[in-house]
Structure 1
């Protein structure tokens, strides 16, 4: 019978992944950045709202890139880890898929960092970080921690009776 992680290891990982999913949803929907111009004009943006605004305003390429790498990849990676945790077999095809998701999903953090840096560099616009960004970062850190644990997970052989 194939190796499986014992439930003793899997249950905490599953709980952490559900918590990470809650943080991810909050990070996507809560305001992430407040932009202020000339101390008069203010706009608050969530990742989901900003992406939808880009798509509706005809910025299809940029909106699609944000949708794919900053929204879909983190959600898919979290759900994929939940599947692996429930199955208890972090190896083979499942880990190959996780490797691909892992390489591309860090682009979400890069995109947000570029957005913040560019807003702070123009001198006219001031960017204030809000709770959505911190929820998003906590989610990314939790998912990456579980992913790392899966990479080094102890293997326990279950012998057929």
Structure 2
């Protein structure tokens, strides 16, 4: 079990970093225009467009909570005992898949609107795998 945690946590952290910086989706409009935004690009763009509330909301749920979950899982794995971090981890874990679902809804909306052709890029896969690996590591830490 300790070996699995030792493998999952660094992989989850690395995947999360790639998921934030690599493009999540490709949107093609009018056959010649193409956008390939990363999650960080989306938040920065919303902030620049004066959509502060939406930028903060997406930043908190898509970057802040998952980063906090990874950090708390690292703390729980290193402490080796049932600690306060496991209790906080339980509260943060409830929001871990919300961000992946939101990205999936945006992708679905773009595909069905007919305004743009959308396809998934590696950033989304790294982001989703980080979410799954962090959840698995947190589960293993709680069982210890």
Number of residue pairs aligned between Structure 1 and Structure 2:
144
What secondary structure is seen at the aligned counterpart in 2 of 1:45? coil
Deviation at 1:118, TM superposition (A): 1.2
Structure 2 match to 1:36? 28
Normalised to the residue count of structure 2, the TM-score between the two structures is 0.93
Deviation at 1:69, TM superposition (A): 0.4
Deviation at 1:93, TM superposition (A): 2.4
**Consecutive unaligned residues in structure 1, runs of 5 or more:** 1-8, 154-161
| Bigger proportion of residues as helix | 2
Deviation at 1:124, TM superposition (A): 1.9
Which among 79, 84, 87 is matched to residue 79 of structure 2? 87
Normalised to the residue count of structure 1, the TM-score between the two structures is 0.84
**Consecutive unaligned residues in structure 2, runs of 5 or more:** none
Cα distance in 2 between the residues matched to 1:94 and 1:86: 11
Structure 2 match to 1:150? 141
Q: Is the 8 A contact 1:34 1:129 kept in 2?
A: yes
Cα distance in 1 between the residues matched to 2:58 and 2:2: 32
Q: After the TM superposition, which residues 105-124 of structure 1 pair with which residues of structure 2 at under 5 Å, given as runs?
A: 105-124=96-115
Which among 40, 59, 62 is matched to residue 70 of structure 1? 62
What secondary structure is seen at the aligned counterpart in 1 of 2:34? strand
Q: 1:25 and 2:17 equivalent?
A: yes
Deviation at 1:151, TM superposition (A): 2.9
What secondary structure is seen at the aligned counterpart in 1 of 2:28? strand
Cα distance in 1 between the residues matched to 2:74 and 2:143: 17
Q: Is the 8 A contact 2:27 2:116 kept in 1?
A: yes
